[in-house]
Structure 1
Amino acid sequence: MNDAGRKAGSLERARGACAAAASAEDAAWALERRRLLARARCIVVKVGSAVLADADGLDAGVLASLAAQMAAVRAAVPQGGQGGTEPVPPVPARRVVLVSSGAVAAGRAALGARGMDARGRDLAARQAAAAVGQGLLMRAWDEAFQPFGIATAQVLLTRDDLRSRPRFLNARNTFAELLRWGVLPIVNENDTVSVSELKFGDNDCLASLLVNLVGADLFINLTSARGVCAHDPQADPHAPVLARIEDVARLDLGRLCGAKTAAGTGGMRSKLMAARRAAQLGVPTLILRGREPEALARAFGLSGADDGTVPSGTWVCPARHAIPRRKFWLAYQSEPAGSVIVDAGAAAALMREGSSLLPGGVREVSGAFPKGALVRVEHEGRPLGVGLTNYSAADLRKIMGLKRHEVAAILGDAHYPDVIHRDNLLLDAAI
């Protein structure tokens, strides 16, 4: 065999080895996905407006299909679960919390049917449409779950409900009791009373925070998209869907994400940010096309059409090292009130050594915030994380860049050694 033939044969063997390795890797992660789905005991399911509604309002057929699939998921015993005698009162094998968009779309359709144009994009118009549509949305879900004997509960939240620690704990206790009773909570943002600084922004954000609140071990986001595409689908309609995302924090969201849907307020960017928050808790996310027949049931192997292949959609892997739930709560309790810009030395100490932020490492302060506020930490225009500051913006401007004894000379002995203690700092936050 000549040199060209030997080289061609070597190249072909190398390609074969790579293909075999890739096939083994695909089989391994598919097995892990099935294992985590089968073991899930508490699931947060978020459904977007574009799935539930169209120009004519809520689609009763879609709600009925999703309710049937969620009922089947609830009833299926997780791996390692207990079979045998059913407890009294009857409790489902799995707990499901549903975050449902669609109130604004339902309200606009109802008002439009009465000759009123409620399509305004301003806050007041959206809040008024939500007030009309929220009752319609709950009634539609209640009717959809009724054939399965599942009682539902309406839970409306604002960000302030989770920012206040006592109210956060009250909400957690309420969810725990509802789930103990076998009731399916249906959650939405309380749009009619929310103001900009207390809004979640969209239900993707709300759902990701509920993962922490209810102690979920799986997050499912039902959307109008096929999954997460490898390129912006608006620019490339034929972009392939990513079957899995190993490290969601390292994604280039500008390349992957297209525009928001017409019916909703989110878009794939907000879904990936939500998945990133869940991943930080060690919780995987499954992004599925909500209107695909039996998509949810197939994911859990509960559909007669299951052929053993990996179902469609995108699986977002959890982080290898979960953050403490307390850090998750403090980082996402509210929007940052300002920014602290640090120098290269401080950035390296924070990122590589897990240090606290000291006054000497601060180079600039942006915004006006009180002591104890949540602030961004940035370096050269790059966000590093968020944390709770021990100083107000005014005091921090007096002491930034100074050493400890110099801080004492300005503020006296009653000062903190750290601007942000590492226990109150979350790096790589999904803000």
Structure 2
Amino acid sequence: MPSMTRTDINRENLLENVRRVVIKVGSAVLTTPEGIDPHAIERLAAQIAILSNRNMEVVLVSSGAVAAGRQRICERMKNCSREYNDMASRQAASAIGQGRLMHDYDEAFARYDKATAQVLLTRSGLKRRSRFLNARNTMERLLEWGAIPIVNENDTVSTRELEFGDNDTLGAMCLGLVGADLFVNLTSADGVYDRNPDTNPDAKPIPVIENIACMDIEAMCDGKTNVGTGGMYSKLRAARRAAQLGVPTLIVSGKGPFDLVAALEGTCGGGTLVLPECKTVSSKKFWLAYHDDPCGSILIDKGAARALLTNGKSLLPIGISDIRGCFDREALVFIKTLDGDELGVGMSNFSSSELEQMKGKRTDEIELIFGADIPDEAVHRDNMLLDAAI
């Protein structure tokens, strides 16, 4: 959103300045206890078609495959008392449900003369920068053709139960993938409250969050929806990541006869607008920080912490006090103080065993061990994101 400053963004002018939007819809919106709600699919397709007809490019990140698969299993099996919550069952249900979910979407969007495209992603598939850029090129071509990309995690081949953690995280990753101007998170709740409204009847809604980095979202969010895997915590964490990228987030209810266009135009009540940060990060740093889970930690002294936070310097081996975990070169790692305060994440130029030999040493001492043809930095500032929302 290059033509606007942070203070210019409000609900009344949000829609007119958006050309590309990522919409994430959760299982709690799309499903009933019996499975996928066809009325919810139809309602969502109608709303997105309106945006598309206004020359807006839309990427839809959709949950619901597992629920659709469970529904199909129950239709075919006499005894459907099992919850099927183990990893293999969830992945098998997703494999069954993906086709059914896409069929429902394809039929619903076809009624509005809109083509859909299924895009299945894994975090490991986006880990390599070349594959990330290839996925970006594919998405660009789909949007150029006027198709509606429908994105979900490729659960069937994921080696962990939830590689992205939830589709809120996947939605935030798609912002950097397609260069979106806005993130809309459709949920079962009517926006964000100062406390969990399920356990606090006097909780108050928050119409606008101006500085999400200063919020203690863990203390605010102590509940999850029953159907999905995220809850409001994951939605706010995704919003904070979007804010770092310079993208505003609208968290709004997708239940009932919702009007997405009215929500974007600010002509209906409800929902929460999360403003972007004043100082944003590049798409490459965003990808680097969030494409994978950190697999270790580098603990640094006060002088190194000051150099990173105040002077924007790279992390040198002499400022490293300790190494935690076992990792290879180019792994994503936490950068922490000796007291355990998390400063950020970065891509390590060296393995954990190499850093064990380097820590606390000057460059000339390191060259005696490893030779002169190695990087001076343990983590270069261009490969580092401080205050990351992990």
> Which residue does 2:56 correspond to in 1?
94
Q: TM-score, length-normalised on structure 2?
A: 0.93
Q: Which residue of 1 aligns with 2:3?
A: none
Which of 364, 384, 390 is the aligned partner of 1:405? 364
Q: Are residue 58 (structure 1) and residue 22 (structure 2) matched?
A: no
Gaps of at least 5 residues in structure 2 are 1-5
Task: Indicate whether 1:111 and 2:73 are aligned.
Answer: yes
In structure 2, distance between residues paired with 1:416 and 1:214: 32
CA contact (8 A) 2:9 2:275 kept: no
Structure 1 residue 186 displacement after superposition: 0.6
Residue of structure 2 in register with 1:317 after alignment: 275
- Say yes or no: does 1:337 pair with 2:301: no
Structure 2 distance, partners of 1:152, 1:216, is 18
Do the aligned residues in 1 keep the contact of 2:121 with 2:153 (CA within 8 Å)?
yes
1:43 maps to 2:21 = yes
| Matching of residues 259-338 of structure 1 within 5 Å | 259-301=223-265, 309=267, 311-338=269-296
Which string of whole-angstrom CA distances, capped at 9 and with x for unpartnered residues, describes residues 150-202 of structure 1?
11111111112211222212211111111111111111100011112981111
> How far, CA to CA, are the matches of 2:318 and 2:79 in structure 1?
60
Q: Which of the residues 29, 33, 52 maps onto 2:11?
A: 33
| Largest Rg, 1 or 2 | 1
CA distance in 2, matches of 1:315, 1:198: 27
Give a deviation string over 1:362-410, Cα, whole Å, max 9, x none: 1111111111111110112221111111111001011211222222233
Q: Is the 8 A contact 1:198 1:334 kept in 2?
A: no
Matched, 1:427 2:389: no
State the partner residue of 1:251: 215
Q: Write the distance in 1 (CA, Å) between the matches of 2:263 and 2:341.
A: 37
The sequence identity of aligned pairs, in percent, is 51
Provide the rounded CA distance (Å) in 2 between the counterparts of 1:309 and 1:68.
18
- 2:321 is aligned with 1:363: yes
Change (3 A) 1:30 1:360: closer
Superposition deviation, residue 280 in structure 1: 1.1
> What is the aligned partner in structure 1 of residue 169 from structure 2?
205
Query: Are positions 1:219 and 2:145 aligned together?
Result: no
Per-residue Cα deviation, 1:110-154 (whole angstroms, up to 9, x for no partner): 212323545222111110111111111111111221221111111
- Partner residue of 2:98 out of 134, 159, 166: 134
Does structure 2 retain, via aligned residues, the 8 Å contact 1:50–1:263? yes
Detail structure 1 runs of 4+ shifted over 4 Å in the superposition.
28-31
In the TM superposition, what is the alpha-carbon distance from 1:45 to its structure 2 partner?
0.3
What amino acid is the match of 1:187?
A: V
Asked if 2 retains the 8 angstrom alpha-carbon contact of 1:232 and 1:255, the reply is no
Q: Go from structure 1 to structure 2 and tell me whether the alpha carbon gap of 1:313 and 1:198 turns closer, same or farther (over 3 Å shift).
A: closer
After superposition, the CA RMSD in angstroms is 1.8
CA distance in 2, matches of 1:31, 1:311: 17
Residues 30/330 of structure 1: CA separation in 2 closer, same or farther (3 Å cut) = closer
Distance 2:218 2:388 in 1: 17
Distance 1:150 1:119 in 2: 35
Matched, 1:154 2:132: no
CA distance in 2, matches of 1:294, 1:232: 22
Distance in 2 (CA, whole Å) between partners of 1:135 and 1:196 is 22
- Does residue 1:69 correspond to 2:47, yes or no? yes
Amino acid at match of 1:365: I
Q: 5+ unaligned residues in a row in structure 1: which ranges? A: 1-27, 77-92, 302-307
Any idea what the Cα deviations from partners look like across 1:49-96, whole Å, max 9, x if unmatched? 0000021111111111111111112212xxxxxxxxxxxxxxxx1100
